[in-house]
Amino acid sequence: MTTTVEHPALAPTTLGGLALRNRYAVAPMTRVSAAPDGTPTGEMADYYTEYARGGFGLVLSEGIYPDTAASQGYFNQPGLARDEHVAGWRVVTAGVRAAGGRMIAQLMHAGAISQGNPHRDHTVGPSAVQPRGEKMPAYGGSGPWAEPRALTTAEIDDVVEGFAAAARRARQAGFDGVEVHAANGYLLDQFLTDYTNRRTDSYGGSVDGRIRLTARVVTAVAEAVPDLVTGVRLSQTKVNDFTYRWPGGRDDAEVIFAAVAEAGAGYLHIASEGRNWLETAKLSDGETITALARKVTGLPVIANGGMHDLAQAHEVLTGGHADVLSIGHGALANPDLPARVAASEPLQEFDRAMVSPTVTVANARRWRESRQA
């Protein structure tokens, strides 16, 4: 007699009160496939629905810009700043829900690393510090980043309100939750990062000051949509700096995690910027940053980075490191990944040609069609 032991990722769970059919989540992946005005398209609805149809319990949207000031990061990035955006996203969320999934809107202000914003001809940040690295060709950019203009305190208030207003639109659009994007080098992370934040007011200085804006945004979102789950995405690494780590190590991490939990977060999502979880998760004392986040906050934690690897995913879930797994490249290659795991079917390898020369949904579709021909 033989028995089949299901992978722990297939077990149901809850995320900040949101019931999920399993622990597999589609990671936020910028696709620059919206209409020029930021309205989601029918092709985007098909793209997101395919993941829910393939068994993913949770679908996290790509970064959505919340306002028509300085938040947009890329041309053809979707927004939640206007009524047209709400209507477009409503089609997307309806498709995901009809296929048995749940969907969370990730709200993102690009700040100093905006490389495509038709609303402004300048960028903003915590301080007038030019970002490291160069713009990303796969997202339509080239050359060095511009030096941003430092935000005033009044403009910071506008940023907070922009997130709250977009959260209310997310509810109208049928999302099940809102994730505050405070990772990967975007605006909120720029405030948290010591070398991009040289402010001398209450938003700068120590880690307690540098996390203040993120905490304010989390509170504003949680209060704007108390009936939805509010999460926050954090990372040490960035799209323009893969080597950065929080300078205070574990001490900084504890302050950061406690601050967002106290601010009203219902879960934490720890990103690894396209790298394997183990490369970015280990602290100097050997504990993982995701396990520390669970310990400090008592909240569910989403881990990211190579979670399509079944052995690693098993260890992350059973070893107390995280509660949910977010998958990027593995999901692109296997939009039916949970169904494949349940059926013990092999997974397809990710092919970078899927996101070349740009990361659009259309390019991925053409890649699949070429493979099927």
Give the number of residues written for the chain. Answer: 373
Reply yes or no: is the peptide bond before residue 144 cis, omega within 30 of 0.
no
Q: Give the Cβ contact number of residue 68 at 10 Å.
A: 17
Cβ-contact 86, 169 below 8 angstroms = yes
Q: Which of 186, 203, 244, 267 is catalytic?
A: 186
Which of 340, 371, 338 lies closest to 354 in space, CA to CA?
371
186 has catalytic annotation: yes
Which of 266, 254, 238 lies closest to 111 in space, CA to CA?
238
Cβ-contact 307, 316 below 8 angstroms = yes
H or E element at residue 281: helix 277-281
- CA–CA distance, 63 with 212 (Å, rounded to integer): 21
Which of 144, 115, 143 lies closest to 132 in space, CA to CA?
144
- CA–CA distance, 340 with 132 (Å, rounded to integer): 40
Mind telling me the catalytic residues?
186
